[in-house]
Amino acid sequence: MKVKKNYTKTEILDSIRCGFEFEFYSNTADVIKTAREISKRIKKRVVVPMSLSALGQEKPLVHSPVKPTADIFKLEPDYSGGKKMCELITGPMKYAEARNILIKVFEWIQSNGYTNERCSIHVNISLDSNVIPTRFTIDKMNIPKFILSFDEDKIFEKFPSRKDSVYARSIKSIRPNKVLFYDPSLEEFSRATLTLPADEKYYGVNFLKAEKGYLEYRYLGGADYEKKSKIILDLIDYFALHLHDVLNFEYFTDNEKDKFRKMMDLARKSYEGFVKYESFAKKYPKIAVTVDLNDDPQVLTSMWGNIREKLYDVIITGGMNKGQFNYDTEIAKFQLKDTELKNCRLSEMEFINCKLEGVLDRSWFWGCELKHVRITDSFVMKDNKIESSKVSECELHTGNVLNDCYIENKKLIINCEVNDGVIRNGEIGKLAKISKDTLIVEAPPAETGNGGGIVFYDPKQDEKNKKNV
C-alpha cells in the first residue's frame, strides 16, 4: 500500500490499536467480585489469573503470564500501590472500541472505587499498517525526532502531580554520553554519541516496548483520574497523531533543531564547571568535594579525572546544590553526605544523612530519609526511614523503618521495622517488627506438578468451573 502525504485525523485514528492498564482501588476486597462487576459494566470477559498449588489452594496471581486480548481482559492485585490496589489490563483494541471501554471503566471506578496519587493509567498504542502504511515501523522510528517534537507541557498542564513521578520520568533529555564529549549532530545520532531516555521503562514514554511494535505512555494518572475522561481521550488522540507523524519522518524541522541546539548548549554550559576543579569550586561553592576526606586543591586536581563524571551525574540528574561529596580510594566508593536530592537517578553511591527522592540502585544508606523512591539491590544499613516507596532485593537491617512500602525480597531477609504496606515476598527475620496492618503475600510461582498450575476465574462460567491455561 502506498503512503499518502496527508491522511485525515479520522483516518489516522481509525488505524490505531489501543490498550490500557488501569490502576485503581475497589470498594470491595474481593478481586473476583470486582472482576464480575466490571465485566457486567463493560460487556467483556474479565478473568482473574490464580495460582493453584498441588493441594488445590488458590490465590490471585500478580504479573501473571496470561495475555489479554481485545475480548478477554485480566484483573490482578497490584500490591505496588498498597494492599487494596487492582490493575485491569486490556488487550489492544480498535480506536472507537477503546474509547468506549475507557469511558465505561471510568464510570465503574467512580461508582465502585477510587484512585489516589499512587494510581496511573498506562496507554499502549500501535498503528495497523494494513489500514494506513507508514515510512517507518515503531521499532525503527527515530527516537530523537519523537522526543524533540513531543509536547510534554500539554500533559503536565493537565496532570501537574505526574511531572516529578519516578514512574513516569520526563523524556526531555538528550545529551552527549560523556563529560567533555564533542557535540554530535542530529544527523550523526547513534547510541554511542547520545544518551537518550530509553534504557528503562519508567519514563513518560516506555521506548522499550518499541521492539514489540507499540509504545507505552505512562504519563497519566493521579488522584481522581477517572473523572478526567475527556482530557485523557484528547491526550490519547494527541499521542496517536504525534506517533503517526514520527513514523513518517523525513527531516528535522527548524524548531526541533533549535531545541536540540539548546539542549547541547545547556549540556556544554554544565560541562564548563567540570573541566577543572578550580572551575567547579567557583561554580558550586556550597558543595564540598574531598578525596579520602582531604580537601587539598592539589589532591583534588590530581584526582579530578576520576571523580568528575560521577559528580556530574549527582548534580545534573539529582539537583544537588549543597552538601559533601567524597571519594574513598581505599574502598573505591563515592559518598554523599548532608544533601537533598529530588527525582534523581543514581547508582553505586553511599548516602549519609541525606533526604532522597528518585531511583537508586546498588547503593548504601545510613541515617537517610527516603520518600517516593525506587531502591534496588542496595544495603539499607541503619537509622533510615523509607516512606511510600518500592524496595526490591535490598538488605534491610534492624534499626530501619519502612512505612507504607512495597517490599520484594526474593533472596534477602527482612529484619527491619515495617508498618503498613505490602511484603510481596521475602523471609521475615527474627529481628523484624511487622505491624498488623502490613500485608504479607505468600505467592510462590505456580506449581505445575501433582495437579498444580494456573487457573482463572471467568465470568462467563460458573465460579466453580475453572479452566487450566
Q: pLDDT tens digit string along 128-178? A: 999 999 999 999 999 999 999 999 999 999 999 898 888 899 999 887 766
Residue finishing a domain among 323, 338, 353: 338
Using 50, 70 and 90 to split pLDDT, how confident is the model at 3? low
Does pLDDT of 295 surpass 90? yes
Are 229 and 181 members of one domain?
Answer: yes
Closest CA to 147 of 212, 200, 202, 198: 198
Rounded to an integer, the average pLDDT of 41-53 is: 88
d(CA 386, CA 117): 18
Residue 308 is assigned to a structural domain of this protein: yes
Residue type, 208: L
Are 239 and 211 members of one domain?
Answer: yes
User: How many whole angstroms from its chain centre is CA 326?
Assistant: 30
Does pLDDT of 443 surpass 80? no
Are 308 and 334 members of one domain?
Answer: yes
d(CA 224, CA 325): 41
Does pLDDT of 451 surpass 50? no
Full domain range(s) for residue 284? 273-338
> What is the per-residue pLDDT for 320?
92
> What is the per-residue pLDDT for 147?
96
Using 50, 70 and 90 to split pLDDT, how confident is the model at 222? very high
Rounded to an integer, the average pLDDT of 119-130 is: 96
Rounded to an integer, the average pLDDT of 313-337 is: 93
Closest CA to 221 of 120, 291, 310, 142: 120
Are 199 and 282 members of one domain?
Answer: no
Are 292 and 347 members of one domain?
Answer: no
> What is the per-residue pLDDT for 462?
47
> What is the per-residue pLDDT for 93?
98
What percent of the chain clears pLDDT 90, i.e. is strictly above it? 70
Q: Which residue has the higher pLDDT, 414 or 187?
A: 414
Does pLDDT of 408 surpass 60? yes
Does pLDDT of 195 surpass 90? no
Closest CA to 256 of 134, 137, 175, 150: 150
**Of the ranges 118-122, 163-167, 439-443, which one carries the lowest mean pLDDT score?**
439-443
d(CA 120, CA 394): 26
Contact 440, 418 (CB under 8 A): no
In the chain, the number of structural domains is 3
> What is the per-residue pLDDT for 183?
61
d(CA 123, CA 52): 31
Are 17 and 123 members of one domain?
Answer: yes
Are 388 and 360 members of one domain?
Answer: yes
Does pLDDT of 455 surpass 90? no
List alpha helices for 16-121, DSSP H: 31-42, 95-112
Residue 201 is assigned to a structural domain of this protein: yes
User: How many whole angstroms from its chain centre is CA 85?
Assistant: 17
3-state class of 440 per DSSP? strand
Average pLDDT, the chain: 89
> What is the per-residue pLDDT for 184?
64
Q: What share of the chain is helix, strand, coil (3-state, %, to 5)?
A: 30, 30, 40
d(CA 408, CA 430): 18
**Measured CA angle at 380 (ends 410, 292), to 5 deg:** 135
Contact 221, 115 (CB under 8 A): yes
Using 50, 70 and 90 to split pLDDT, how confident is the model at 468? very low
Closest CA to 390 of 379, 405, 402: 405
Q: Tell me the pLDDT tens digit for each residue of 353-383.
A: 999 999 999 999 999 999 999 999 999 999 9
Residue 47 is assigned to a structural domain of this protein: no
Are 150 and 166 members of one domain?
Answer: yes
Are 350 and 362 members of one domain?
Answer: yes
3-state class of 131 per DSSP? coil
Using 50, 70 and 90 to split pLDDT, how confident is the model at 277? very high
Are 244 and 129 members of one domain?
Answer: yes
> What is the per-residue pLDDT for 346?
93
Are 279 and 357 members of one domain?
Answer: no
Does pLDDT of 275 surpass 80? yes
94: left (phi over 0), alpha (psi -120 to 50) or beta: beta
Rounded to an integer, the average pLDDT of 414-428 is: 93
What percent of the chain clears pLDDT 70, i.e. is strictly above it? 89
Q: Which residue has the higher pLDDT, 449 or 263?
A: 263
Using 50, 70 and 90 to split pLDDT, how confident is the model at 448? very low
Does pLDDT of 442 surpass 80? no
**Element at 206 (helix H, strand E):** strand 205-206
Q: Which contacts of 251-256 are long-range, i.e. CB under 8 A and separated by 24 or more positions?
A: 252/145, 252/148, 252/186, 253/149, 256/145, 256/148, 256/149, 256/186
> What is the per-residue pLDDT for 446?
41
185: left (phi over 0), alpha (psi -120 to 50) or beta: beta
Q: If you count them, how many residues does the chain have? A: 469
> What is the per-residue pLDDT for 185?
67
Residue 20: all three cell numbers together: 490500557
Are 126 and 244 members of one domain?
Answer: yes
